[in-house]
Chains A and B, each alone.
Chain A
Amino acid sequence: MRQVAISATALITSLLCASPGIAGSDDAKQLYSKHCAACHGENGDGIGTAEKFLYPKARDFTRGVYKFRTTPSGSPPTDDDIYRSIKYGVAGTSMPAWDRMTEKQLLGLVQYVKTFSDIFEDEEAMEKPVTLTKESKNTAQSVASGKKLYVELECNKCHGDEGRGDGPSAATLTDDWDNPITPYDLTLGPLLMKGGAASADIYRTLVTGLDSTPMPSFAEELNPAQTWDVVHYIQSMSTVSLDAASLAPQKTPTLKAVKVNDQFSLNPNDNAWQNIEATKIRLRPLWAMDDWVKEVSVQVAQSSGELLVRMQWQDKTQDANIGNTTDFRDGVAIQHVAAASPDDYLGLPFIGMGDDKEEVTIWQWKSDWQTAIDKDGFVMIKSKKTDEKSKRSSPVDVVKAKGFGTLGDIPVSQQNVKGKAVWKDGVWTVVMIQKLNSQSELAKHKKLPVAVAAWDGSANNRGGHKAVSNWMELELN
């Protein structure tokens, strides 16, 4: 009888565990290969084909060490910890949020990522998550106590007396792979803190530390009340004030083309745009740059014959006249895949300009092209492939790519996006318009995957040093 029970269990086990989506399943492996391997490496060692374009570097899963955990320092993360990093991404780094994947896909990836290190098979290595205590009142007294502790615990040695990340030990810091690493500039506020922006996230980071980085755990040094005092002091150093809602992880938005009857002019400040809902898209830098475009506000309108996209973002300087090789231009680009569905992650190409199976189309606008057009009525755009220049009347260049480094031009006769941009009072406003005729890829679809990238020239953004979104869905009429 007992034997029967055992073999029944074994049978159920083999059936359940062989079903798709579970622990190292084919689906998870394919998803990983498609969307994760370019950065994290096919073998999980953090050395993918995009590795050289990224800083901070993508996680090397083979070491079994993770920064963002609820478990004590020196312990592997829980499944939920890995799940959170995949779903919401990591602020201020190139790790995007994959919240549009299904629960099953996310859970499958968690299990797949764990297969790269045997530490997850060692039950004894695992420790229980730390206890998060209730937040104390954020009073002047708490901040003052936190300030005292900040010096006593030598936080200032790395993060600096004023929290600017410039303490005496800052310059010598390296991570576990011997890559240089900079302490966080606490005056930037919590939004770019990699461990999360909410009070509880900062508390947790102090208790667990960020393993594999120089940020240690203060679990032995601070009691809960003191930990909250340090959290409050850290928050008091922020020069940015934010409400609680903006501190929570953001969902990847869906863009909807608003049906319009009016004719829009090419003027980016056409009044008609005032009636079109704007969607804010947070961008993440591929490289830790001085600064980058952190958010782009996107509006999409669709008339009977045209699709119109307007993008706005803050940029203190208009980098439009490129005189020297050390000057860089501002820019924005929107990428789409005509042949893929935004919901099918196995059919969707890699976010980094597509892959060898799926081609992406990119509409790119550059500030110096705009300057030339405003001045002369035309711009000479150089081909990435042949170096030949072609004369254009639009500051928007349409290109195709099948993976990074594969930008390919399309003939001038097939360039079908017009546009215009203005910079005023620290804001760029760019309009791109495509005629929805037989030449238009967009005219044939109801929804398709899109992504946005932007460059801030005066912060030395150029080429792969840019800020990007993940794949979003664009709904058309």
Chain B
Amino acid sequence: MKLPYRSMLLFCSALLVITQVQAAKYKEVEGGVSNGGSLSGSIMFDGTPPPAKELNVDTDAEHCGKQYSENLIVGKSGGIKNAVVSVSGIASGKAWQFPANFTFDQHGCVFKPHVMLLKPKTGGEVLNSDPIGHNVHTISKGIFNVNKKMKANTEMQVKKTKLRKPGVIRVKCDLHSWMSAWWYIAESPYTALTDENGNFSIGDIPPGTYQLKIWHEKLGESEQTITIEAGSEAKKNVSLKL
């Protein structure tokens, strides 16, 4: 190996790192947002919700039992659970009030929770509380792609540097093909996860006109234009179809 050449390469790529990293990162404004508005609403299902699909439990059926898909959960009111709603394009504003770390479990051959909303650089622990083995396999576009085998009743840590930037991470278990979950890493704290009735609320939004982005694992992504006025409460209900 030609050492001088190699060290030159290292030197040059190190310079690249210094100049290119840290682009477009959300900044918390000291003292918060003074004259912000708020937004609340519901993400509703348009039509008759399909019944939860029974999944093919082809391995470890004696332990895992019957399994049903969680990829579309519609509450009694017609609201959609686990949709991520975000007011996009806000580069600075209120402080993140997101959990400092997460716990993600494998229990009864189900990932819990099914959708996690996190801020970038959140660390946490992954548990396997089942008496059988699983593997945690994450799939993302250049964020964090890990695949670790976990024995029964074990845990492992995910370093906070791993969830390194905003985006969507899909989680699966290759041993149990029906197991599925999502880690959504928010761009800014102006992001919310809908509850079992499809409700969300986002506060302290700097006044302005924005794109409201909605992400749902099954129903895809969509956008709405919203206007937030100083000190007022805006409402927005959105209906999504299959």
Which A positions have Cβ atoms within 8 angstroms of B? Answer: 13, 16-17, 22-23, 62-65, 73-74, 79, 103-104, 107, 111, 114, 117-125, 153-154, 157-158, 168-169, 171-173, 176, 209-221
Q: Note all chain B residues with C-beta closer than 8 A to A23.
A: 9, 12-13, 16
A104 touching B5 by the CB < 8 A rule?
A: yes
B149 touches A17 (CB 8 A): no
By the criterion CB–CB under 8 Å, are A125 and B147 in contact?
A: no
State A168–B13 Cα separation when bound (angstroms): 45
What's the interface size class on B, roughly?
35 or more
- Flag if B1 contacts A73 (CB, 8 Å): no
Q: Which of B12, B145, B161 contacts A124 (CB 8 A)?
A: B161
- Are A212 and B58 closer than 8 Å at their CB atoms? no
- Would you call B9 and A213 a contact (CB within 8 A)? no
How near does chain A come to B61, taking the closest CB pair, in angstroms?
10
How many angstroms from the CA of A25 to the CA of B138 in the assembled complex? 33
Is the CB–CB distance between B16 and A125 below 8 Å?
no
The 8 A CB mask of B1-36 against A (1 = contact, 0 = none) is 110011011011101110011000000000000000
B147, A13: Cβ atoms closer than 8 Å: no
Known: A119-B164, A176-B139, A217-B149. 12 other contacts (CB 8 A): A22-B8, A63-B141, A73-B146, A104-B2, A111-B13, A121-B21, A125-B162, A158-B175, A169-B176, A173-B174, A216-B148, A217-B148
Q: Is A117 in contact with B142, judged by CB distance below 8 angstroms?
A: yes
Is residue B238 contacting chain A, with contact meaning CB distance below 8 A?
Answer: no
Q: How far is the CA of A107 from the CA of B8 in the complex (A)?
A: 11
B149-A103 in contact (CB<8A) = no
Q: Is B154 an interface residue (CB 8 A)?
A: yes
A213 touching B145 in the complex, CB below 8 Å, given contacts A121-B20, A158-B174: no
A172-B58, A176-B139 as given contacts; A13 in contact with B145, CB under 8 Å: no
A230 shortest CB reach to chain B, Å: 12
Beta-carbon contact of B9 and A216 below 8 Å = no
Cα distance A181–B161 in the bound complex, in angstroms:
30
* Among B13, B135, B145, B154, contact of A212 (Cβ-Cβ < 8 Å): B145
Pick from A13, A79, A114, A216: contact of B15, CB below 8 A. Answer: A13
**Does A221 lie within 8 Å of B59, measured CB to CB?**
no
Assuming A111-B9, A125-B161, is B141 touching A169 (CB within 8 A)? Answer: no
How far, in angstroms, from A216 to B145 measured CA to CA in the complex?
A: 11
Residues of A contacting B142 with CB < 8 Å?
62-65, 117-119
Within 8 Å by CB of A220, from B11, B20, B137, B149, lies B149
The answer for the CA separation of A210 and B140 in the assembled complex, in Å, is 15
Which of B136, B142, B177 gathers most chain A CB within 10 Å? B142
Residues of B within 8 A of A172 (CB): 58, 174, 177
In the complex, chain B residues whose CB is within 8 Å of the CB of A219: 148
Chain A hits for B104, CB < 8 A: none
Instruction: Report if A214-B174 is in contact (Cβ < 8 Å); known contacts: A62-B142, A121-B16, A121-B17.
Output: yes
For chain B residues 143-165, which have a beta carbon within 8 Å of chain A? 143-151, 154, 156, 161-162, 164-165
Pick the most buried of A13, A118, A123, A216: most chain B CB atoms within 10 A of its CB: A216
CB distance from B21 to the nearest CB of A (A): 5
State whether the Cβ of B108 lies closer than 8 Å to any Cβ in chain A.
no
With a cutoff of 8 Å between Cβ atoms, the chain B residues found around residue A173 in the complex are: 174, 177
Which residues of A sit under 8 angstroms from B113, Cβ to Cβ?
none
Known: A74-B146, A157-B175. A216 touches B135 (CB 8 A): yes
A22 to B11, CA, bound (A): 11
Contact indicator A153/B133 (Cβ below 8 Å): yes
Which residues of A are found within 8 Å of B177, using beta-carbon distances? 169, 172-173
B6 contacts which chain A residues (CB < 8 A)? 107
